[in-house]
A = this chain, B = another copy of it.
Amino acid sequence: MDIVLFVFDDMTALDLVGPMDIMALMPGAELKIVGQNKGPVRAGKGKRSIGVVADYALAEVDSGDVLIVPGGMGTRALIHDEAVTGWIAKIHKTTTWTTSVCTGALLLAAAGVLKDVPATTHWAAMELLEKLGAVPTSKRVVEDGKIITAAGVSSGIDMALTLAARIKGEDVARAIQLMIEYDPEPPFNSGNAGTVSPEIRKLAVELVSAR
């Protein structure tokens, strides 16, 4: 089973790696890390980044059982890149499951995959998702047929456990959850944009701008 993961400059590494490490524990899974070109991209920006290697270029991969598209600020340029959006549309036609994490949903939408489809993304990108033709839905994980979209960054973990259960059954998903010891104990209660103070929202946006 080919798990196709798209990587690009200024993606958010956690969007990718949460689902990746979950899929990697599924019996029969093979990961294909695909970039615009073969070789390393930088996840994040400048001195806040890490190199992640694309093992395949877009042109080398034309199908997949599962597509996973992560997000990050780099998506803002790529939604206008027809080589990327055309490739996503092409892979989507071949998949059993098409998924995104965070603003990866913007790339799915720009590829035409989310036209009138209920979907979610990072809380700061919901308006843009709507402009791109999707039906913004405020849930952490949104399923619509073979398409599963997740909210911001860390939600990819919840999405991928849901996906593993759909593909291999609940026992395998539970065993994976145990292996990654996903028994969360957030030290604060400020992960939900609907309930935090305006000051924390403002500070969060400033932290990203300051990178």
Contacts and interface: CB of A to CB of B under 8 A. Distances in A.
Interface of A: 5, 12-14, 16-18, 20-21, 24-27, 29-31, 33, 40, 44, 47-53, 55, 102, 122-123, 140-141, 151-155, 157-158, 161-162, 165, 170-188, 190-193, 196, 199-201, 203-204, 206-208, 210-211
Contacts of A201: 178
Contact of A190 (B18, B152, B174): B174
A180 to B, nearest CB: 4
Contacts of A171: 199-200, 203
Dominant SS at the A interface?
mixed
B27 A47 contact: no
Contacts of A40: 40, 51, 53
Nearest to A139: B185
A21 B25 contact: no
A156 to B, nearest CB: 10
A16 to B, nearest CB: 8
A181 B123 contact: yes
Nearest to A206: B175
A210 B24 CA distance: 11
Contacts of A47: 29-31
